[in-house]
Chain A
C-alpha cells in the first residue's frame, strides 16, 4: 500500500536557523509530490509541488524541496526560518491513475523568536 513517512513529528528551531523536514514515500511508480502547510487555525495551503522536470522545486515563502527518486524522498528545506513559519507541514503523494492523495502524519514546526 502507498504510504508517506514524516519522521520528524515536532521540530523546534530558533529564528534564522536552517530547516530540513524529511518525507519518504513507499510507491515505486510515477508520482506527484506535494508539501502543504497549515498555519494555526487555518486550512491547508500548498507550499510547493513536483510533477516532473527539475527535481529541485521552489515554492512560496522561500521554501524549496528536492525530489530524489533513488531515495524515494522529497525533503522540504528553507535556509533561514522566521517566526511566522510556525505551522504544521504535511507531505503528500499521489500516483498515476490513482485519485488518492496520501498524506504523511505531519511535522509540527515551532520557531522560537
Chain B
C-alpha cells in the first residue's frame, strides 16, 4: 500500500545528531500522526496534526518536533537524538467522522537506531 510513504526506512545515527523523518500521503486526508513502537509497549502517539496550521502534542512529545509542510507532508524531527529514542516510527493518516477520528492508515515505518 503506497498511500502513505515514509523516508528513510532505516536509519542509524549517533547521540546528539539531528534527524528528520518524512511522511507523505496520497489519500487526501487532513489528519496525520506520528507514533513510535517499542517492544511490549504497543504504539504511542508523539504528535498529530489536523491540518497545516494545527499541530498537537501526543503523549510522548518531549524530544521531538514536527512540521506540516503541506496537507500531504508531515515530518518528525529529533533535535538531538538519544539512545532511548531507538524505536520503530510510524506515520499515519485518517479522515474524520464527526468528532471521531476514523480509521488510521499507516505507513511502512522507519526503524531508527541511535548509538
Contacts and interface: CB of A to CB of B under 8 A. Distances in A.
Contacts of B56: 99
A99 B101 contact: yes
Interface string B38-62: 0011111100101000001011000
Contacts of B45: 100-101
B69 interface: no
Interface string A72-90: 0000000000000000001
A103 B36 CA distance: 11
Interface stretch (B11-19, B77-85, B105-113): B105-113
Contacts of A4: 42
A99 B93 CA distance: 12
B7 to A, nearest CB: 14
A94 B43 CA distance: 13
Interface of B: 1, 4, 31, 33, 40-45, 48, 50, 56, 58-59, 90, 92, 97, 99-101, 103-109
Given A44-B43, A44-B92, 6 more contacts: A32-B100, A32-B101, A43-B1, A43-B90, A99-B56, A105-B41
Interface of A: 4, 9, 32, 34, 36, 42-46, 49, 51, 90, 92, 94, 96-97, 99-101, 103-106
26 contacts: A34-B103, A43-B1, A43-B4, A43-B108, A44-B43, A44-B106, A45-B1, A46-B103, A51-B100, A90-B42, A90-B43, A92-B43, A99-B50, A99-B56, A99-B101, A100-B45, A100-B59, A101-B33, A101-B45, A101-B101, A101-B104, A103-B43, A104-B42, A105-B40, A105-B41, A106-B40
